[in-house]
Structure 1
């Protein structure tokens, strides 16, 4: 481009470039670049001029060229597709009339902070340093799919919105970030796509506002984060999809508000997570899907748990905070997959690790009662008998109470009416207590039952005691076996 064709504003930028000097057209710190449509030629720079500078700009010996421009209206389309530039680029507080085309470009560093853009097309772009879009306002999709950033990506307080929702607003799928993805306060009216992305550092989405009701608000399928994924105080309208994601550190949803009525609010199935924090948050409005997830520390407060959960094959090492079993069990009863034995075993194991044997027994008792609802009528009937007698073996003292009660009833009954001896000459002296024990205990014999024969109603009583004895003995044996297995 010939220097004679430049406007005074462009000439100023052209002359500052070789020395890396800044050019600032702003008239005040409170100036809004969204009003840039009213800026005249004195603040307008053609995109073609910037392209010429970046690809083949003048240089001076001993100086480091850089494009540093603030407060300008950039007319036309900045087209750097497949281009390579070794110069730092800072276009802050600017108004872009066209969508910058950076597809496949290679840049040293790019800073678009506080600018207003109609969108950004930069898929497969490579940046050796950082990409900074702090406080940017974008009125169309940001396409960064497959981009490779050696440094960090800054999107803090950026706002993305568009009337066209046919494609994701923020496309970071398959992106590789060599440092942090720093985006606290980000606002996206549409889908934020992170599936297949790799972040060497942490992802900071604290205070974000993601709005796409009934659809994907955050798609992070197979996302890999070597640090933490922070979403404290986030507000998400739509669902978060993290199927197959791996977060080495903490997935922190403390104080977050998740809402997707009628469907899942958080889908983290098949995830591998160091720590999952769901605490100090409002009740999740939607289902919580943790199927097949593997979590080292699950920080889950009962008040956060939604009306429906999906916990099939969920594995966690530690469950915190420590809550009574009565507070945890309703979560298992809300499982949309129905009766999931593994979920009860996981909760039991969590209580046993902290030495709360009482809570572990309550969970296993609840498991047996839930299992009973899946049986045919005769299985349910037998289950009710075991529950009422000895609590499926987890409350063995009940058997003692039943045995003593039946022993007292039988002893009194047979003391008042001695049964007839079968062989009077050979029969031992009748003892109502040991006779009743003979009826109740099927294994032990005191020689009383076989020597006497009750009649009428007392014979019916003897049959009832024998049956009750067998039931109690079976349930006690079951309880003892389960206790030995736990030991």
Structure 2
């Protein structure tokens, strides 16, 4: 491009480029690039000029050429499709009248911080360093699907999408690879973020982000891979957050996050693998939660976090914090969308056993039997109620011992008042109602009383009842003792 064809603003950029100098058109440090359409003509630079400079410009001897412009109004389309740009690009606080196209381009560094762009088409973009969209305003789509970034992606406080727009996927990062962090605290998005199959080697930071797509999906991150942590502390999400199949080497931190999708799924984190899932001080989630088949070493959540419908079938966790009595955790298991799920009770009991809280573990196992009873036919329910009332399904051995003592007293009193006749009067030992009742109740003990005397009438039916009850109660006590010893 001949210098005679350049505007005064473009000549300034042309002269600064070979030595990597900065051209600053701003009138003040707090200018808003959204208002760039009203900037004076002397701040206008054509996109085709910038393209020609990036593709054909060269450095001065001993200098590093770079495009560094601040506060410019860029007219036309900056089209670098399939281009290889050897120079760093820093278009800071600029106003783009038309979308920028970098589809399939390869650049060293790209910094568009504080700029306004109608849209950014940069699928399969390859950046050898960092891509900065800090404080950008982009009402249209940002398409970075398949992009490869050797450095980090910075999007702090960026505003993407339009509240009145009809775009579904506002930020498209499917199958992108980021070799460092995806850093976006304070990000605001009106629409959907897509991270399906994306890999981030470092941390994903969405602290205090505002994701708005009511009735739709705000974050679609199926098979998302994160090398360290997924942070979303204080995030506000109105719409579905979908983390199905996500793998996080560290933890997923949703402390103080507000998740809302009334009438739909607020959080789907099925088949997720992460060290921790952290929901500390998180308000009650509005919408259903699905954690089926996921694996966490630690799950931190209080009962008041969960909505009325949850999915826990197949969820595996090593520790459940904070430590609370089983009675506070159990109601949650009754909210399982699929009904009674034995595995959920086993997981909760195992978590209590792992920290040595045997009493809480037995409470959970007893609750499991009671919940299972509700799925049985009437006759099985009746038998279940009897087991529950008498021995607590074997998880209340003290109750079984109490019944045993009670029956022992009853039998001793009754047979003490009415001695049963001897089978062989001349050979029978002296009758003892206490040891006779012991013989009836305890199947492994033989004091010689039961074989020597034969009660008649209803006394005989009482003896049959004591024998049957003794078998059940003694077995229950033995099982409880065995369970305790085996755990120790």
On whether the aligned pair clears a TM of 0.5, the verdict is yes
Deviation at 1:70, TM superposition (A): 1.3
Moved more, 306-315 or 146-155: 306-315
Match runs of 1:223-302 below 5 Å: 223-302=224-303
Conserved? CA contact 2:80–2:102, under 8 Å: yes
Answer yes or no: is the 8 Å Cα contact 1:75–1:98 preserved in 2. Answer: yes
Cα distance in 1 for partners of 2:277, 2:401 equals 45
Given that 1:393 and 1:482 are in contact with CA atoms closer than 8 Å, whether structure 2 keeps it comes out as no
**Is the CA contact (8 Å cut-off) linking 1:392 and 1:479 kept in structure 2?**
no
Aligned residue pairs: how many?
Answer: 487
Distance, in Å, in 2 between the alignment partners of 1:219 and 1:113 is 25
In 2, Cα distance between equivalents of 1:5 and 1:373: 85
Q: Is 1:479–2:480 an aligned residue pair? A: yes
2:310 matches 1:309:
yes
Corresponding residue SS for 1:169: strand
Q: For 1:452, what is the secondary structure of its paired residue? A: coil
| Partner residue in 2 for 1:14 | 14
C-alpha displacement of 1:213: 1.7
Q: Which residue of 2 aligns with 1:116?
A: 116
What is the rounded CA distance, in whole Å, between the counterparts of 1:63 and 1:426 in structure 2? 121
Aligned residue number for residue 205 of structure 2: 204
Length-normalised TM-score, structure 1: 0.95
Quote the residue 2:194 is aligned against.
193
- Indicate the larger mover: 226-235 or 305-314: 305-314
> Deviations 1:345-398 (Å, cap 9, x if unpaired)?
222222222222222222222222222223333332222222222222222121
Residue 392 of structure 1 contacts residue 478 of structure 1 at CA under 8 Å; is this kept in 2? no
> Partner of 1:360: helix, strand, or coil?
helix
Moved more, 402-411 or 71-80: 402-411
User: Residues of 2 paired with 1:242 and 1:326: CA distance?
Assistant: 30
SS class of match (2:430): coil
Q: Which residue of 2 is the match for residue 133 of structure 1?
A: 133
Give 1:328 shift.
1.9
Q: Which runs of 5+ in 2 are unaligned?
A: none
- Give the aligned partner of residue 176 of structure 1: 177
**What is the deviation of 1:238?**
0.9
CA distance in 2 between partners of 1:202 and 1:327 (Å): 34
Separation in 2, partners of 1:402, 1:205: 59
Indicate if the aligned counterparts of 2:309 and 2:337 stay in contact, CA closer than 8 A.
yes
Counterpart-to-counterpart distance in 1, 2:472 and 2:355 = 34
Q: In the TM superposition, what whole-angstrom CA distance separates every residue of 1:30-53 from its partner, at most 9, and x where no partner exists? A: 322212112232111111111111
Q: Distance in 2 between matches of 1:453 and 1:58?
A: 115
Distance verdict in 2 for CA 1:409–1:80, change over 3 Å: same
Q: Aligned partners of 2:412 and 2:292: how far apart in 1?
A: 56
SS at structure 2 position matched to 1:420: coil
Alpha-carbon distance, 1:206 to partner = 0.3
Please state how far the C-alpha of 1:12 moved relative to its aligned partner: 1.7
Choose 82-91 or 397-406, whichever is displaced more.
Answer: 397-406
Partner of 1:96: 96
Do structure 1's residue 468 and structure 2's residue 469 form an aligned pair? yes
Match of residue 34 from structure 1: 34
- 1-side partners of 2:212 and 2:356: how far apart? 44
State the alpha-carbon separation in 1 of the partners of residues 419 and 326 from structure 2. 50
1:56 and 2:77 matched: no
Equivalent residues of 2:171, 2:193 under 8 A apart: yes
- Retained in 1: the 8 A contact 2:141–2:167? no
Q: Deviations over 1:182-229 (max 9, x none)?
A: 100000010011111111111111000001122211111111111111
Of 191-200 and 25-34, the range deviating more from structure 2: 25-34
Give 1:374-453 correspondences, 5 Å limit: 374-453=375-454
Residues 457-466 or 82-91, more deviating:
457-466
2:131–2:152 CA contact under 8 A, matched in 1: yes
Partners of 1:318 and 1:309 lie apart in 2 by 19
Kept after mapping to 2: 8 A contact 1:393/1:480? no
How big is each residue's C-alpha offset from its partner over 1:149-199, in whole Å with a ceiling of 9 and x where there is no partner? 111111000001234434300011111111111100000010011111111
Cα distance in 1 for partners of 2:441, 2:20 equals 99
How many Å apart are 1:426 and its aligned residue? 3.5
Say what the alpha-carbon RMSD is for the aligned residues: 1.9
Q: Are 1:36 and 1:73, in contact at CA under 8 Å, matched by a contact in 2?
A: yes
Question: Contact 1:386–1:475 (CA<8 Å) still a contact in 2?
Answer: no
**Structure 2: how far apart are the matches of 1:47 and 1:272?**
46
Partner secondary structure for residue 37 of structure 1: helix
Q: CA deviation at 1:293?
A: 1.2
CA distance in 2: counterparts of 1:444 and 1:262, whole angstroms: 63
Residues 68, 91 of structure 1: 8 Å contact kept = yes
- Give the distance between the partners of 1:169 and 1:64, measured in 2 at CA: 35
Q: Distance in 2 between matches of 1:480 and 1:58?
A: 85
Aligned to 1:76: 76
How far residue 477 of structure 1 moved from its aligned partner, in angstroms, is: 4.3
Shift of 1:481: 4.7
